[in-house]
Structure 1
């Protein structure tokens, strides 16, 4: 089933602040990450439990923050870029905290997500991003991290290929389109 994402403002004549755009991006990123986690299950990859599924979603969210940062770097000045990405990460923090708490019970889930985001940001900084999107190495890193989360059991041994060749690229395309639409 195709993922439908609303990425145009209802009242497009009104100017939007960067925090408003960041909030919309966070909602869209969550939907994309959730869709990709569900797609892995549909492709017959096996999750051990909800915590593992949430960890995969978080890896996709970190990836999409990197995409947003690269897109913002090309279009915004440094202060605007920082505002957008910080607000985006704060909104994702809330989504991760709320959804994890709903599934796993009380606990601090947002804090570890921000720590993961900080760690992965340094790792993704090594990879190229051009006008046509993330490099092979960029996508391979996403696939590798999801492979580490899923494990290399017989059922999951090819998850890295699924993420690199299809799902990661698809997530990028959906997110980049929505990003550009929100700034129109």
Structure 2
């Protein structure tokens, strides 16, 4: 089933705050990340449990935050960009906390996600987004991190290729389009 993403504001005449745009981006990113986690399962990659699936979703979210940061660099000044990415990340922490709590029970799931986001942001800092999209090292890093999470079992051996060649690109394209739509 195709993922339908609504990325146009209901009332176009009302100007949106960066906080509102960040919230919309978080909702869209969550849907894309969940869709990509499901796509891996549909391609016969195996999750050992829901916790593992949630960490894969989080890796996609971290990747999409990096994409948003690169895209916003072209449209916003530094203060606006920082405000947008902060609002986006804060809303994602809420999504991660709520959904993880629903699946795994009570606990602090937002703080570990934020710690992982901060660590990954340093790792992604050298990777570029060019006119065609994320560069090979950018996508390879996403694929590598998901491969590490999925393990080296025989059925998950080629997950890095799936992420780099198909799912990472698709996530980028969907998210970049939604990002541009929200600023129109």
Q: Who is 1:157 aligned against?
A: 157
Q: Who is 2:41 aligned against?
A: 41
For residues 110-149 of structure 1, give each alpha carbon's deviation from its aligned partner in whole angstroms, at most 9, with x where no partner exists: 0000000000000001112112210011000000000000
Alignment of 1:126-137 (within 5 A): 126-137=126-137
Alignment of 1:14-53 (within 5 A): 14-53=14-53
Quick one: distance in 1 between partners of 2:129 and 2:120? 15
Q: Who is 1:140 aligned against?
A: 140
Quick one: distance in 1 between partners of 2:57 and 2:8? 24
Q: Which consecutive unaligned segments of at least 5 residues does structure 2 have?
A: none
3-state SS of the aligned residue for 1:7?
coil
Q: Who is 1:59 aligned against?
A: 59
Alignment of 1:34-183 (within 5 A): 34-183=34-183
- The CA RMSD measured in Å over matched residues stands at 0.5
Quick one: distance in 1 between partners of 2:18 and 2:80? 8
Deviation at 1:2, TM superposition (A): 1.4
**Misfit runs of 4+, over 2 Å:** none
When normalised by structure 1's length, the TM-score is 0.99
- More deviation, 123-132/30-39: 123-132
3-state SS of the aligned residue for 1:169?
helix
For residues 29-73 of structure 1, give each alpha carbon's deviation from its aligned partner in whole angstroms, at most 9, with x where no partner exists: 000000000000000000000000000000000000000000001
Quick one: distance in 2 between partners of 1:134 and 1:42? 24
Quick one: distance in 2 between partners of 1:121 and 1:45? 26
Quick one: distance in 1 between partners of 2:163 and 2:170? 9
Q: Who is 2:11 aligned against?
A: 11
When normalised by structure 2's length, the TM-score is 0.99
